[in-house]
Amino acid sequence: MANMDVEDFIQQNRALAEQVETFRGYWESEKHWEARREFILRNISDYEDPHLDQLVSLSMVWANNVFLGCRYSSVLLEKVKDMAEGVVVEDAPVFKTRDEIMKKQKNERVEYGGDDGGGGGAQTSTQLCSTMAVTLFSYSRLFSW
């Protein structure tokens, strides 16, 4: 459903649209809600009244993944991504996992420590671990636990 399709659907199904509006959280921005509402409207025919809470939960999982970067099991994410097919979110944030950041840092350090003609060669894994430990220790000092 494009934005116009959603508006047309809402005009034709006022009672259903009013029911769906009750699912909006007070914390949701207009952009967040419009995307989640479209997700719900696209899938509401598959979830009759006793299972409507499951649809609302799945819509929150999808929105939390898209807007906040929350991670869930691969099976659950695959399900909600299939359900969200066709829902367009403009300017969605891009999130990197800790593992992606650490891998990038490791690759940068290995490249930096490469052979520059000075005979030093690439850093060993022990040197990398030591460097990372010092970096993590430095970051931990920034926070008072």
Task: Tokens 């047309």: give the residue.
Answer: 8
Output 126 or 144, whichever has higher pLDDT.
Answer: 126
Chain mean pLDDT for the chain: 77
Q: What is the pLDDT of residue 142?
A: 53
Q: Where are the domains of the chain?
A: 3-83, 98-142
- pLDDT for 80 equals 95
What pLDDT was estimated at residue 60? 94
Output the six-digit token pair for 69: 């970067």
**Least confident stretch, 15-24, 78-87, 111-120:** 111-120
Helices vs strands, H then E, count in the chain: 7, 0
Query: What is the token pair recorded at 36?
Result: 């989640």
User: For 61-77, what is each residue's pLDDT tens digit?
Assistant: 999 999 988 889 999 99
pTM: 0.59
Tell me which residue has tokens 């691969």. Answer: 74
